[in-house]
Amino acid sequence: MQGIGNMGNRKTHQFGLGLLLTAALVLACVGPAVAMTQEAAAPQAGRADIVTIDGLKAFGALERPAVLFYHDKHTKALAKQNKDCSVCHETVKDRLSLKFKRIQDADKQTVMQTYHDNCIACHKETGQPGKPSGPVTCGQCHIKDASPPISTWQPIVLDKSLHYRHIKANDKKCELCHHAYNDQTKTLFYAKGKEGACVYCHKQVTEENRIADRPASHIACIGCHRKLTAQKKDAGPYQCSGCHDAKQQALIEKVTDVPRLERNQPDVVLVKIAVKDDHSEPVKNRMPPVPFDHKAHEGYNDTCRGCHHAALTSCASCHTISGAKEGQQVKLSQAMHQQDAGSSCVGCHNRQQAKPECAGCHSMIFTGRSLTTEASCQVCHRSTTAENPYPVDEAEAKAAQLLAARQPVTTTVSVDQIPETVTIKYLSNNFEPAVVPHRKMILKLAEGAKNSKMAAYFHAAPTTLCQGCHHNSPATTKPPQCGSCHGRSSDTLNLNRPGLMAAYHQQCIQCHDKMGLEKPGSRECTACHAKRK
């Protein structure tokens, strides 16, 4: 990707979008350009600029196969002729139309003729000097059973690093990209302090006066990049692969120490159910409120949308205690505890537990068990009462007080309490007993957890790490042997309780796999226990 460079002198434009393109900039344009070169039907190397020309579907079933169009190939061919996007795309009020040679679709015949007349004429013109050009017959474009190249298209996220680079290049002129809509005047304006992501307003499809996020993002970003390039300034790419090819994305410069975003956000908040502005109704939480370190979590995420997926407002403003239309009837408790939702607290924590240093235990520890326990609830729900006695203007101070009182716990017991080795004799009839380096394993787990604040808070007792293996035993330095629960054969009345040999192999091998350990280096039995002579 080309550098952002100095964008500070560009003029303000009204089509800029909040956070430019937070989720996915899709260069599958609504109206594609012309075909400069004929593509063979055989499979080709993967590419990120594949566009399917099928706009006539809006008028009914297609009479011929859709046309596969390679956007970057055409922009490069035009560049060699000192031509740009305006050859194929018209401009209205400083905006580049994403449709080919038109602003709007008129009727089927007009749209079809627009493609045929212009594409074929261009191909004939460029082919006259004996140079290779694009197809000029129907069957060469509309190929039945065509084998397209594999699409390597990847969505691009405007993470905090890329966002900061735009802030710096624009000299903090947020109004160049962010805007809101005034329903009364029917105009765009800049609402300072209320900036948000593009997709908060621009959805997947066009709605009333708001175009969809895909065309909106391309109009704003590509338009800006083209303008700066024309001014001989450093700018971002405006070809498909520049944003959507994985190799090109890997080349994007990363800012490691990104300054905190300036949007008047709090350092800490008290997560609780919503209350009416006039405080006319007494409100009680089913659980004590949660003090939340907002500033710290900003550092854990690449974008605000990691949590604020619909708007930069409090969770409770959409997710009420009983469910509301604004929150798609998802209750506040569900929004916070949904295990597979990336924007929920529990869902995010589960993703952290999938990391190699955590996965050895957490891939097994909750099998067949409830995720939440009273101890785990109390890690977050810290206050001593389920009522909500804190006025809005005092909630932040209360959250800071509760966070200050919360202290991380020791992640393991003292070394002298950990047996150095444990000998497993279950298979000793056929194999020598397996000697497990018990202390080494525990210290390895402790090493992986020591730099994690989340692990320090949720490993609520020094023996918590022991429960990675001793998953149904009390948290103690002398847990019962595995055979206390796992019999010689599987428990037919409890499918989550395999036989002892299966339990050993499942626990040990899965832990090694999830943590990416190389030892034991094979699946041979003798990797752990020598065969008895």
pLDDT digits (tens, 9 = 90+) for 238-252: 899 999 999 999 999
Percent of the chain at pLDDT exceeding 70: 84
User: C-alpha angle 250/255/261, rounded to 5°?
Assistant: 125
Which is more confident, 17 or 354? 354
User: How many CB atoms are located within 10 Å of the residue 349 CB?
Assistant: 17
* CA atoms of 369 and 400, how far apart (whole Å): 33
Superfamily the domain 50-141 falls into:
Cytochrome C3 (3.90.10.10)
Range(s) of the chain covered by CATH 3.90.10.10: 50-141, 268-405, 415-527
pLDDT digits (tens, 9 = 90+) for 254-270: 999 999 999 989 999 98
Which is more confident, 369 or 383? 383
Spatial contact of 51 and 70, defined as CB atoms under 8 Å apart: yes
Percent of the chain at pLDDT exceeding 90: 46
pTM of the model: 0.79
Which is more confident, 185 or 13? 185
pLDDT value at 6 more than 80: no
* Alpha helices per DSSP H over 406-451: 438-449
DSSP notation for 209-224: TB--HHHHHHHHHHHH
DSSP notation for 87-138: GTS-EETTEE-SSTT-SS---HHHHHHHHHHHHHHHHHHHHTTS------SH
* CA atoms of 408 and 304, how far apart (whole Å): 26
Whole-number pLDDT of residue 93: 83
* CA atoms of 41 and 148, how far apart (whole Å): 7
* CA atoms of 60 and 18, how far apart (whole Å): 35
Spatial contact of 270 and 395, defined as CB atoms under 8 Å apart: yes
Q: Quick one: DSSP state of residue 68?
A: E
Whole-number pLDDT of residue 475: 80
- What band does 14 get if pLDDT is binned at 50, 70 and 90? very low
Whole-number pLDDT of residue 420: 95
- Of the ranges 42-51, 336-345, 503-512, which one carries the lowest mean pLDDT score? 42-51
- What band does 382 get if pLDDT is binned at 50, 70 and 90? confident
Whole-number pLDDT of residue 9: 36
The rounded mean pLDDT for the chain is 83
* CA atoms of 258 and 119, how far apart (whole Å): 46
Please tell me the number of Cα atoms within 13 Å of 55 on its side-chain side. Answer: 25
CATH of 415-527, one of 3.40.50.170, 3.90.10.10, 3.40.50.300, 3.40.190.10: 3.90.10.10
DSSP notation for 166-196: HHHHTTT-GGGT--EEETTTTEEE--TT---
Give me the mean pLDDT over the 26-38 stretch: 35
Amino acid, single-letter form, for residue 327:
G
* CA atoms of 45 and 436, how far apart (whole Å): 49
pLDDT value at 37 more than 60: no
Whole-number pLDDT of residue 518: 75
User: How many CB atoms are located within 10 Å of the residue 502 CB?
Assistant: 13
| Nearest Cα residue to 379 out of 348, 342, 408, 411 | 408
Whole-number pLDDT of residue 52: 93
Which is more confident, 280 or 416? 416
Whole-number pLDDT of residue 488: 85
DSSP notation for 283-304: -B-SS--EEEEHHHHHHH-SSG
- What band does 456 get if pLDDT is binned at 50, 70 and 90? confident
Whole-number pLDDT of residue 70: 95
pLDDT value at 364 more than 80: no
CA dihedral 203, 205, 206, 210 (to 10 degrees): 0
Spatial contact of 23 and 305, defined as CB atoms under 8 Å apart: yes
CATH of 268-405, one of 3.40.50.300, 3.40.630.30, 3.90.10.10, 3.40.50.2000: 3.90.10.10
Spatial contact of 69 and 174, defined as CB atoms under 8 Å apart: no
Whole-number pLDDT of residue 278: 46
Give me the mean pLDDT over the 33-54 stretch: 64
Amino acid, single-letter form, for residue 362:
H
pLDDT digits (tens, 9 = 90+) for 98-143: 999 999 999 999 999 999 999 999 999 888 777 888 999 999 999 9
- What band does 35 get if pLDDT is binned at 50, 70 and 90? very low
Contacts of 505 (CB under 8 A, 6+ apart): none
Whole-number pLDDT of residue 265: 92
Burial (Cβ within 10 Å: 0-12, 13-18, ≥19) of residue 12: exposed
pLDDT value at 12 more than 70: no
pLDDT value at 23 more than 80: no
By DSSP bridging, strand 290-293 and strand 422-424 are: unpaired
pLDDT digits (tens, 9 = 90+) for 404-427: 888 777 668 889 999 999 998 887
Whole-number pLDDT of residue 448: 83
Whole-number pLDDT of residue 164: 96
Give me the mean pLDDT over the 449-465 stretch: 85
Which is more confident, 237 or 129? 237
- Give 324-372 as a 3 state SS string: CHHHCCCCHHHHHHCCCCCCCHHHHHHHHHCCHHHHHHHCCCCCCCCCC
Give me the mean pLDDT over the 154-181 stretch: 94
The two structure tokens encoding residue 9: 């002198």
pLDDT value at 30 more than 50: no
Considering 28-32, 60-64, 398-402, 453-457, the range whose residues carry the highest mean pLDDT is 60-64
Distance of CA 165 to the CA centre of its chain: 20
